[in-house]
Structure 1
Amino acid sequence: MIPKFRMWNRISSQLYLVDGLYFDDKEAEYVDDDNVLRFIGFKNIELMQSTGLKDKNGNEIFEGDILAFETDDEVINVNVFWDEEHALFMFESKKYNEQEPLAELVENNTYPFEIIGNIYENPELLEDK
């Protein structure tokens, strides 16, 4: 799998797919809303990697995404993040103060889940849910 990234542009407060990363120059390459190729320094972005997984609608899941999944009793919103210590993608429920490997949610396929937002544009979706 070829790693795929997106970024949160701290200057424009917008989310973009990353077309290239240049570590020598410490820059990311992306195409803006006007279809213009742009470069931005690493210090001005939050980089997020694709998990390689998809939600129930076929949308690609990136770290920083907020997922909603239905249990028998309720809908729970969780955020996706990279866990450095365990070297894997995890999801976190603020409501239950729990963290679990994202692969378990996908592999078990017990509860359908979908992307409902991300931590930059929709942080309110994580408030006690």
Structure 2
Amino acid sequence: MFRAYIKDTDDLDYNDVPHKGHFVYGNLIKGKPNNDVDAIVGDLIDIHDEYVNVEWWQSIEKGSAEQSTGLKDANGNMIYENDILCFGRMWLEGDEYDPREEDHIGLVKYCSDSASYVVDCNKQIFPLEQMCSFDGYSVQGNVHANPELLEAQHD
């Protein structure tokens, strides 16, 4: 499952593209390397030697698709790349996880070196699957709608 942020949502309702706010959810089709667009599409309806027919499609800016991590937060919300997570009240101290007074905020990213999702908390990198074991971790927003959440961690 993928999602993509769409600035102008006017055409989404007109074209019956399912969306939640400014996000379109579906499957990803990548355009050719010299093409400036990719597409998020609905389910496959029909396929023949000469064409493919999908329920709906929405062009998106090339490279803007964000993949689901396959994990959900404590509230049951799916976690995607570029989501902003609150870590609850646990933190890494040396090699041990210790409780702390304050909550911590981090950005979900894909790390190609480890072929896994990580959470970047002010340049400290933690495996996402470990963050999901902490009590109360939750999606607070995303970089598109809530960039101020990441700015707040630097204050």
Q: Normalising by the residue count of structure 2, what TM-score does the alignment of the two structures yield?
A: 0.64
Q: CA deviation at 1:128?
A: 4.0
Match of residue 17, structure 1, among 13, 25, 34: 25
Distance 1:127 1:41 in 2: 27
Q: CA deviation at 1:67?
A: 0.8
Of all paired residues, the percent bearing the same amino acid is 29
CA RMSD of aligned residues (A): 2.3
Give the 3 Å change call, closer, same or farther, for CA 117–27 of structure 1 in structure 2.
same
1:91–1:100: 8 Å Cα contact kept in structure 2?
A: yes
Give the 3 Å change call, closer, same or farther, for CA 57–84 of structure 1 in structure 2.
same
State the match for 1:83 in structure 2. Answer: 111
Match of residue 71, structure 2, among 40, 50, 53: 53
Matched, 1:63 2:81: yes
Considering fraction of residues, name the structure with more strand.
Answer: 1
Q: CA deviation at 1:28?
A: 2.4
Q: Normalising by the residue count of structure 1, what TM-score does the alignment of the two structures yield?
A: 0.75
Q: CA deviation at 1:127?
A: 1.3
1:28–1:42: 8 Å Cα contact kept in structure 2?
A: no
Structure whose alpha-carbon radius of gyration is higher: 2
Runs of at least 5 residues in structure 1 that lack an aligned partner in the other structure = 31-35
State the match for 1:99 in structure 2. Answer: 125
Give the 3 Å change call, closer, same or farther, for CA 83–17 of structure 1 in structure 2.
same
Q: CA deviation at 1:41?
A: 4.5
